[in-house]
Copies of this chain bind each other. A is one copy, B any other.
Amino acid sequence: MSKGLLLLESPVYVIGRGNCVGQKEGQGPLGEFFDQVEKDEYCGEDSFEKAETKLQQAALTNARLRCHKENGDIDVIGAGDLLNQCIASAYGAAAVGAPYIGLYGACSTMALSTINAVLCLVSGLAQTVAAVTGSHFCSAERQFRYPLEYGGQRPPSAQWTVTGAGALILSSKEPSDVTIRGLQVGKVVDYGISDLNNMGAAMAPAAADTLSAFFSGSGKSPADYDAIVTGDLGHIGGNILEDIMKQNGYDISDKYNDCGKMIYSKDQDAHAGGSGCGCSASVLTGYLLPKLERGEIHNLLFMATGALMSPLSVQQKQSIPAVAHLVEFVREVS
């Protein structure tokens, strides 16, 4: 049994999913699938950071509406984001009023918060748990790279932080067609990449480590799944993942896609693809899970990837540690 692997004896049910994205994401190939496209990049607030809280709140509201829950029905909320001290999540959780587990997984947070929700349910801590995350292009650029006003040029390997948020509501008691049957918590993997504009390459080895650990521990293989989707390795990281998995003895090429590749079209000038917590969060809740609901696919390995560096650690010449967490979604129709 691999460390960090949990195969559930009883399923956990995905009863609610919701999202809210920005205008660029709404104009992308998946635009029609999102619950809500917010055209104002400030979401009516006076800062990008406050807008990020609004995106998280909108995603959770859309998830709640889908399963007819009030904020008061949520037993525990687990959330995180890219902002320093995860403030978008903290202010969002304050508004919900439920006990709060703060998480930091960088762009892996949609998977990490889903795993946290599963642990809350299986342990008996809660019966209804929310998993929320999001990101905002403007707040991420100024925090991690340059303020937008600086007009810094982006190299082709750079990814575009998604403005958007996603939320899941999981239940241990209320049945639904889409369930979670397994999860793999990932290790921190550091391959020595130190270029903030090449996150895909930094994260791909972590994704390969987690996916290989899951296959090895569960006895499953790529053939057992209809879709294997990573969070936001983008075009460069995605190709590296396929290569490493082949070296590890797993050919995922005909099942594999990446949320960062899917969310923008080539003419949207997003270079190596989308990134940010909101990337995999919005694609999972808007595009992937509905495919399970409709029976177009019957199972899905969803693996969100995170680059755990900070601008400070990069200035201090440290390389970028990365992590990837995996959740196994299965359609179970009686």
Contact = CB atoms under 8 A, between A and B. Distances in A.
A90 interface: yes
B313 A87 contact: yes
Contact of A104 (B86, B190, B309, B312): B86
A96 B124 CA distance: 29
A80 B101 CA distance: 12
A121 to B, nearest CB: 8
A249 B184 CA distance: 44
A225 interface: no
A138 to B, nearest CB: 13
A252 interface: no
A298 interface: no
A99 B310 CA distance: 20
A124 B122 contact: yes
B105 A187 contact: no
Q: Which one of A90, A93, A100, A316 has the highest number of Cβ atoms from chain B below 10 Å of its Cβ?
A: A90
A76 B186 CA distance: 9
Copies per complex of this chain: 2
A191 to B, nearest CB: 11
A187 B123 contact: no
Contact of A123 (B85, B123, B189): B123
A318 interface: yes
Given A98-B3, A310-B87, A50 B186 contact: no
B49 A102 contact: no
Given A85-B84, A102-B104, A104-B80, A126 B4 contact: yes
A316 B49 contact: yes
Contacts of A309: 85, 87, 90
Interface string A45-58: 01101100000000
Interface stretch (A18-26, A60-68, A112-120): A112-120
A89 to B, nearest CB: 8
A260 interface: no
A187 B321 contact: no
Given A85-B106, A99-B185, A75 B4 contact: yes
Contacts of A85: 84, 104, 106, 308-310, 313
B94 A189 contact: yes
A3 B75 contact: yes
A323 interface: yes
Contacts of A186: 99-100
Given A76-B3, A312-B87, A101 B116 contact: yes
Task: List the 9 closest A-B pairs by CB distance, nearest first.
Answer: A4-B99, A85-B310, A99-B185, A90-B308, A122-B123, A94-B188, A102-B104, A119-B119, A104-B104
13 contacts: A4-B76, A46-B316, A49-B313, A86-B308, A87-B309, A98-B187, A100-B185, A100-B187, A101-B115, A102-B103, A102-B308, A116-B119, A122-B123
Given A91-B321, A102-B104, A103-B104, 4 more contacts: A4-B125, A101-B103, A101-B185, A122-B123
